[in-house]
Structure 1
Amino acid sequence: GLVVPVIRKADRMNFAEIEKEISSLAKKANDGSISIDEMAGGTFTISNGGVYGSLLSTPIINPPQ
């Protein structure tokens, strides 16, 4: 299923710190070791279907966003 991790306090991070957090959360998601707490509390989600070669995609709203 869809796994949507949350980057906390991103407003206080520089791009390198955000990239490290993305990598860390992606590894946990791929390993199946990500926790519910790491996926809760998001305010908005950014998706990029273009990495899969698609031209159009349908956004999925993750409640309660």
Structure 2
Amino acid sequence: GLVVPVIRKADKMNFAEVEKEISSLAKKATDGTISIDEMAGGTFTISNGGVYGSLLSTPIINPPQ
């Protein structure tokens, strides 16, 4: 299923710190070790269907966003 990790306090991070957090969360998501807490509480979701060659996609709203 869809796994949507949350980057906490991203507004306090520089670009390198955000990149490091994305990498860490992506590894956990791929390994299946990501926790529910690491996927809860996001304020908005960004997705990129273009990596799969799609031109259009349907947005998914993750409540309560």
TM over 0.5: yes
**Offset at 1:2?**
0.5
What is aligned with 1:55? 55
Tell me, yes or no, if structure 1 residue 12 matches structure 2 residue 12.
yes
**Offset at 1:36?**
0.6
Cα distance in 2 between the residues matched to 1:64 and 1:45 = 11
CA offsets 1:35-64 (integer angstroms, 9 cap, x no match):
011001000000111111111000000111
TM-score, length-scaled by structure 1: 0.96
TM-score, length-scaled by structure 2: 0.96
Could you tell me which runs of 5 or more consecutive residues in structure 2 were left unpaired when the two chains were aligned.
none
User: Cα RMSD between the aligned structures?
Assistant: 0.6
Could you tell me which runs of 5 or more consecutive residues in structure 1 were left unpaired when the two chains were aligned.
none
* Identical amino acids, percent of aligned pairs: 94
**Offset at 1:24?**
0.2
Number of residue pairs aligned between Structure 1 and Structure 2: 65
**Offset at 1:18?**
0.5
**Secondary structure of the equivalent of 1:55?**
coil
**Secondary structure of the equivalent of 1:33?**
coil
* Divergent runs of 4+, >4 A: none
